[in-house]
Structure 1
Amino acid sequence: MNLTISGHHLEVSPALRAYVMAKLERVLRHFDQVIHVKVLLSKHNEAQKERRQRVECSIHVKGNALHAGSKHLNLYAAIDELVDKLDRQIVSHKTRIQGWRNAPIKRELAMTALA
């Protein structure tokens, strides 16, 4: 798995990098087929102060790409919110994949029961 953490108008400190990596471990424990993760931390000069810190993430997994973003006053709170969104997406993706894999078996069992 490749992990890229970059900053836009913001310097990514080692503490911030470690925090992002620790939080992404929660997301990645659900799904082991992750190919690439790209995280972009940015600071924007918007009129709304509570939406100045932004975090965007793209996770490329086998067969799909998941994207999420978050805005908040505090960068750490934006990362927490982003991880919650990604966690929901990855769990949903995993259940879709598992449901798709198990569907033909159920159909075959139903067909043999009818015959």
Structure 2
Amino acid sequence: MQMNLTGHHVDITPSLREYVDTKMERLERHYDHINGMHVILTVEKLDHKAEAKVNVVGKPLFADAKEGDMYAAIDRLVDKLDRQVKKHKEKARDHRAAAVDKADRLPPTPDELGPS
């Protein structure tokens, strides 16, 4: 998965990059079809903000979080994204299951009935 990490008014240290990488791995464990993501970390006065756009099959997902600590903002961001990814995965699975159920409920074709 391709991940871009950008910092506005904050230096992206190797430890911060590693922390974001390990947290975002949780999303990959729950859903394999993540094409890429862009994470932006921002500091404005006393607020630390983390936002991310995750490209999944179907539509992009977006979340942001503000906290007093950057690591807490990242944790909250990942929690929000994780909920969205799980919901997206469930919707995709439900639509496929509904299509299969609908096909099972169709009346049999004359070929399936056999000779009359």
Same fold, TM-score > 0.5, yes or no: yes
Give % identity: 37
Query: Is 1:5 the counterpart of 2:23 in the alignment?
Result: no
Match of 1:90 in 2: 85
TM superposition score normalised by structure 2: 0.89
Shift of 1:25: 0.5
Shift of 1:27: 1.3
User: Where in structure 2 are the equivalents of 1:57-72 lying within 5 Å?
Assistant: 57-72=52-67
Secondary structure of 2:6 counterpart: strand
1:68-109 CA-partner distances (Å, limit 9, x unpaired): 000000000010101110110000000000111111110122
Moved more, 19-28 or 103-112: 103-112
Shift of 1:36: 1.1
TM superposition score normalised by structure 1: 0.89
Secondary structure of 1:12 counterpart: coil
* Amino acid in the other structure paired with 2:35: I
User: Where in structure 2 are the equivalents of 1:1-115 lying within 5 Å?
Assistant: 1-45=1-45, 49=46, 52-112=47-107
* Amino acid in the other structure paired with 1:24: M
Match of 2:111 in 1: none
- Count of matched residue pairs: 108
Shift of 1:28: 1.4
* RMSD (Å), alpha carbons: 1.2
* Amino acid in the other structure paired with 1:11: D
Runs of 4+ off more than 4 Å: none
Shift of 1:110: 2.2
